[in-house]
Amino acid sequence: MKNVKAIALLTALSMTIGGCASTSRRDERAAVRGALIGAAGGAVLSAATGGDLATGAAIGAAGGAAIGVITQDGRNRKVYRGNDGRRFWVDDNGQRRMYEGR
Residue 49's pLDDT is: 86
The DSSP string of 26-73 is: HHHHHHHHHHHHHHHHHHHHHHHHT--HHHHHHHHHHHHHHHHHHTGG
Whose CA is closest to 36, among 77, 55, 8?
8
Q: What is the pLDDT of residue 5?
A: 59
Question: Span 86-101, mean pLDDT?
Answer: 80
pTM over the 0.85 mark: no
Q: Which pLDDT band, with edges at 50, 70 and 90, does 22 fall under? A: very low
Q: Could you tell me the CA-to-CA distances from 81 to 24, 29, 31, 36 in Å, in that order?
A: 22, 25, 21, 27
pLDDT at 8 > cutoff 80: no
Task: Name which residue leads in pLDDT, 88 or 72.
Answer: 88
pLDDT higher than threshold 60 for residue 29? yes
Q: What rounded mean pLDDT belongs to the chain?
A: 75
Give percent of the chain above pLDDT 70: 69
